[in-house]
Amino acid sequence: MTTLDLPSPRVAQPQLAAMRLIGTASVAIGVFLSGFVIAEPAPYELWLAFLIGTWFILGLKISRNVAPLLALFLTFNVGGMLSITQMHDLAAGNHLDGPIYIAVSTFLALSSVFYAAITEDNERRLRLIFNTWVVAALITASLGILGYFHAVPGFDIFTRYDRAMGAFQDPNVFGPYLVAPSLYLMHGLLIGDLKKAPIKGICLFVLAFGIFLSFSRAAWALFAFASVMLIFCMLLKHRSNTFRLRILVMSLAAIILMVVLLVVALQFPQVSDLFSTRLQLVQSYDGGHLGRFERHGIGFMMSMERPLGIGPLVFGQIFREDEHNTWLKTLTTYGWIGFVTWISMICWTIYIGFRNLLRERPWQPYVMIAWIVILGHVGIGNVIDTDHWRHFYMLIGIVWGCGALEQKYQRDLNRREAAP
């Protein structure tokens, strides 16, 4: 699949090419399954667990550029394992839930390292990953939209609390999942072939409508932030007046279209009522006694007294609500070790992406999109837990993989310059 030691090069080449093709197709299947997480363990976990093991057995290597990510994630989950030891006097539920939660965390960590390794192995896989992500996002968004409007009998299972959630368990995960493929389509609209613009525009509308019908304030904020950041970064990279005019015209057209569609959507009572409710900055469950923000304060105080954490899912058992704050979640579930490691990993990831943000490379658009969406996820992590979001780990792996590609590019460039 990748680096195989076979005896005869002439015999090896056809097999190697076939194995690379099969391996690439298997990655596409994994990315596609990331859009369908109705129950856990989802098909995504089962398929990717098989895939990760198979690829590494067949020779996929972790380079020294990706190894720090593996070390950080392993340390992070060691913190989670230590936190399990604190559960006995606090947890009242199933004592297997904690170990299972950390096992999933460890798997997701390995998935991020896997995406980084296969990206470094072959940068052409980035296009496959994002194209497949668009397909999966379109299908799951369509399921959510059809379910929301009761267009197909039985599709109510793709909604929750009168909010679209597609083939996910939660609208608050469904909405953010659609943002990265939306940005990929936006990027294609801004610099791609105008003949394909109508198709990309329709696909972008489906995804944007799915984000809207998720009625997730975090998803709305993420989509708005990511869109503005994408345009800003592209204006920095492409300084020609023609390109800037194209961005201006397309942006104005998109804004006008979005406003028109929003006005049309608000004509439906079920949409307008929920929209006005969700538009409020502070919901009933945010403020008040033991509301979200008060729980945050109590949780941080508890974490100061328990450096090893209180155990996975224990916070929700105590307060009947999860942390809804990634930083607090790392403290309660992974202890101080996990908290420091998570912050280190996030800062390192942001640094790698920023350093390679505007360099003229084949992988530049992908690292730019992944970096922007990660930055947005860091922001919404203040009001929602992101430590088990599969697509978030995929984005982190992409940024590290692109960073490894840049290091390889620089080494090759220095070698060529040093050659006589």
Select, from the ranges 86-95, 127-136, 155-164, 270-279, the one with the highest average predicted confidence (pLDDT).
127-136
Q: Which carries the bigger pLDDT value, residue 9 or residue 332?
A: 332
Q: What is the DSSP letter of 5?
A: -
Which residues are CB-contacts of 222 (< 8 A; sequence separation ≥ 6)?
175, 176, 179, 373, 376, 377, 379, 380
Residue 19 has pLDDT above 90, yes or no: no
- What does the pLDDT read at residue 349? 98
- What does the pLDDT read at residue 8? 43
3-state class (DSSP) for residue 268: coil
Q: List 42's β-bridge partners, or say none.
A: none
Distance CA 408, CA 122 (A): 12
221 burial level (CB within 10 Å; 0-12, 13-18, 19+):
middle
For residue 252, the surrounding DSSP H or E stretch is helix 241-265
Instruction: Say what the pTM is.
Output: 0.89
- What does the pLDDT read at residue 313? 86
- Yes or no: say if 6 and 61 are a contact pair by the CB < 8 Å rule: no
The tens digit of pLDDT for each residue in 345-389 reads 999 999 999 999 989 999 999 999 999 999 999 999 998 899 899
- What does the pLDDT read at residue 4? 40
- What does the pLDDT read at residue 191? 85
- What does the pLDDT read at residue 5? 42
- What does the pLDDT read at residue 352? 97
Distance CA 341, CA 333 (A): 13
Percent share of the chain, pLDDT over 90 = 53
Q: Which carries the bigger pLDDT value, residue 310 or residue 12?
A: 310
- With CA atoms as reference, report the closest residue to 230 among 197, 189, 199, 173: 189
